Amino acid sequence: MAFKVDNQTISDLKIIGNNKGNDIYGLFNKTNTRGGAEILKDMFKYPSSKEEEIMHRVNTIRFFKEEKIEFPFNNALFDTIEFYLSNTDERTRLTHHQDNVKRKFESIIGSDTEYQQINKGVSDTLQFMVDLNHFVSAIENKALKNNFLKDVNKVKEILDSSDLTFIKDINSVGKLSYDKTVEYDQLFRFTIKENILKLLHYAYEIDVFISVAKVSENLNFAFAEINKNDRNVIEMQGVFHPLVPNAVPNNITIDENNNMIFLTGANMAGKSTFMKTFSIAVYLAHMGFPIPAESMRFNIQNGMFTTINLADDLNMGFSHFYAEVSRVKKVAEAVNTNDRLIVVFDELFRGTNVKDAYEATVAIVSAFATKRKCTFIISTHIVEAGEDLKKLRDNIKFLYLPTIMKGKTPKYTYTIKEGITEDRHGMIIIQNEKILDILKN
């Protein structure tokens, strides 16, 4: 079953961004091949809510990490092979009777480019399968300890087929004769093409697992552990934002008794970063990927909705407030019909006046808190709402990000604490920037 997310959530968390590499996908994308990069992107688009799928990927990446496996192929082969296999025009099919004086003369003067392309494609395809056979033979015994073995067996089944038994007798591919080129071309392009494409897909997956394993090793990421009991718990130790330089780690535990986090803190104290940090870790855990934390235990969730960088929908004529209301409605409908959803709202109702925002925050947070089988993190500047919510619900955990004043200069710890903050330093920051003095002069 898929882990439900939407475009707003993917955008908020910078899961897949604008191809500049400053997103979570870019962080993990150290692949050698275009095919590997595309498979990795698909993995990021479709997290899972199935324990078997998550654990299979965890164990596979851990296997590649522990064995320190390097990419076993020549990167340049893949573009040639894909181009070669894509050409299924019957008019390019080679035959033995074409090996005549005319073709040999064209070969001498270098004008038989079409044949040379096919010969190169055949040669590179053959070399790829030889390399793949060596790789599978080398890791087969090690894979016995890991459920990665079933993937290895799928490859072996193709390589052991009667059409490809000759692969095992080849150590390296030299120059192919015309007759051999004709024979292999018929086999590769017109008989077993689909099986070769499956082998390519497997090689691209190897590329992905090696890439992710190396990122985990280099950045000291950990693998999340799935809770086996029915009690809904998400626990993170030392979790940090993977895209923030020198990010401050935090610990957090959310369970059924405290499934609502009410987060306060001054501007720039780190509320949005903390909420993104938590959400990114949840997202990666449901992909079976290593997470930026010392450790994490979690019960599998069914989806996540974040609202952190909500834009006005000017094309529809919607104000920011109406966009907020529409988003809250969508999330309300989701939690009303689904258990175990993660919901993250940053600054509820910032698009309206303080009185309406206060009343709406209390009403909506209180109503969401009744959905105890879901998990919520909601931040606000309206700290007074927290006092009302304490009286209304017993399952809300109040956390804040403190600000320490050094004279008139605010310093931020970025470390969460329990309670509700009274920190309000907006005017101090304005005064420090001397905006009023500029306007007076």
Q: Are residues 114 and 235 in the same domain?
A: no
Looking at the structure, tell me whether residues 47 and 120 fall in a common domain: yes
Q: What is the per-residue pLDDT across 44-79, written as a single tens digit (0 to 9) for each?
A: 999 999 999 999 999 999 999 999 999 999 999 999
The reply to whether 13 and 68 lie within a common domain is no
Please check whether residues 232 and 211 belong to one and the same domain.
no
Q: Are residues 259 and 365 in the same domain?
A: yes
Asked if residue 136 belongs to a domain, the reply is yes
Q: What is the CATH number of the domain that holds 158?
A: 1.10.1420
Summarize the confidence of residues 163-179 as an average pLDDT: 89
Q: Is the same domain home to 206 and 240?
A: no
Q: Are residues 15 and 88 in the same domain?
A: no
Domain co-membership, 45 together with 159: yes
* pLDDT for the residue numbered 315: 44
Co-location of 123 and 269 in the same domain: no
Segment 170-188 mean pLDDT: 90
212 pLDDT more than 80 = yes
| Radius of gyration of the chain from its Cα atoms, rounded to whole angstroms | 29
Is 338 a member of any domain?
A: yes
Instruction: Supply the range of the domain harboring residue 149.
Output: 36-219
Mean pLDDT over 362-381 rounds to 93
| pLDDT given at position 432 | 60
Give the CATH number for residue 323: 3.40.50.300
Number of domains within the chain: 2
Do 356 and 406 share a domain, yes or no? yes
Residues 358 and 417 in one domain: yes
Q: For residues 203 and 277, state if they share a domain.
A: no
Q: pLDDT of 75-133, one tens digit each?
A: 999 999 999 999 988 888 888 665 554 445 445 444 478 888 999 999 999 999 999 99
Q: Which of 179, 195, 219 is the last residue of a domain?
A: 219
Which domain-ending residue is among 219, 238, 258? 219
What average pLDDT does the chain have?
Answer: 88
Q: What is the pLDDT of residues 182-208, one digit of tens each?
A: 999 999 999 999 999 999 999 999 999
| pLDDT value at residue 322 | 80
